[in-house]
Amino acid sequence: MKLYIYEHCPFCARARMIFGLKKVPVELHVLLSDDFKTPERMIGEKMVPILQKDDGSYLLESLDIVDYIDHNYGGKPILTGVRSPEIAELIKQFQQYDYRLECPRYIKMGFAEFATQSAINDFVASKSNKMGAFADCMAQTDTLVSAVSNILDRLEPFIISPDACNGSLSLDDICLFPVLRNLTCVKELNFPDKIRSYLQSMSKLSQVDLFFERAI
Ligand SMILES: N[C@@H](CCC(=O)N[C@@H](CS)C(=O)NCC(=O)O)C(=O)O
């Protein structure tokens, strides 16, 4: 199977996680951020993640990919834990701030989807339309870091185990880990101990990398 992704994309990280957690082999292909033709040829629109199944057909929507792999590959389903409404609510709260912290950093981190200047230009144009100029977002770093730190502090008590946020693996891990992973691109952000352990453990189990070493 082949999985088409962007390295920074949290929905792609969801799909990548299930392959790593179940030790199911998959070929990762990173598309350039301004490559419209490849995804349009495959699925009729520019959107990742895209899974190309063994029979050549395509599956999109991260949670559909997760469900397909969990139920059809690598033994019994593993995402059997109960979800927590508190975690779902805290994920929504991060989303008010995280894009403004992350997008201006993504283009400086050496991701394969931004290997060309035209890919960077396309991303900057489309995102700054929605969130304002990247330089203004960078200038808001202190305020945004303080808002996100507050949410991290509120999240910490809900992380029951470093190997599964609710104590046994569930869709909450698939939705939470990618959001926290993307925040590791922000150098100024300090993660509470339990969240840092969760990030490190889940990264190892799912084989999805963190960005601490190249944080800006
Ligand atoms: N609901 C979709 C959302 C996927 C999504 O929004 N992907 C973004 C990348 S993070 C995308 O491909 N956007 C189109 C673009 O970059 O032009 C899923 O869960 O797979």
- One DSSP character per residue, the chain reads -EEEE-TT-HHHHHHHHHHHHHT---EEEEPPTT--HHHHHHHSSS-S-EEE-TTS-EEESHHHHHHHHHHHSSSS----SPP-HHHHHHHHHHTTTHHHHHHHHHTTTT-GGG-SHHHHHHHHHHHHHHH--HHHHHHTHHHHHHHHHHHHHHHGGG--BTTBTTSS--HHHHHHHHHHHHHTT-TT----HHHHHHHHHHHHHHT----GGG--
Per-residue pLDDT reduced to its tens digit, 25-83? 999 999 999 999 999 999 999 999 999 999 999 999 999 999 999 999 999 999 999 99
- Indicate the CATH number for domain 2-72: 3.40.30.10
Residue nearest to atom 12 of ligand 1 (CA): 47
Q: Using most ligand atoms within 8 A of CB, pick from 34, 45, 47, 51 the residue to mutate for ligand 1.
A: 47
CATH 3.40.30.10 region(s) of the chain? 2-72
| Cα 193 to middle of ligand 1, angstroms | 31
Using a 6 Å cutoff on CB, does residue 62 contact ligand 1?
yes
Q: Can you name the CATH fold of 85-214?
A: Glutathione S-transferase Yfyf (Class Pi); Chain A, domain 2 (1.20.1050)
This prediction's pTM: 0.98
| Cα 125 to middle of ligand 1, angstroms | 16
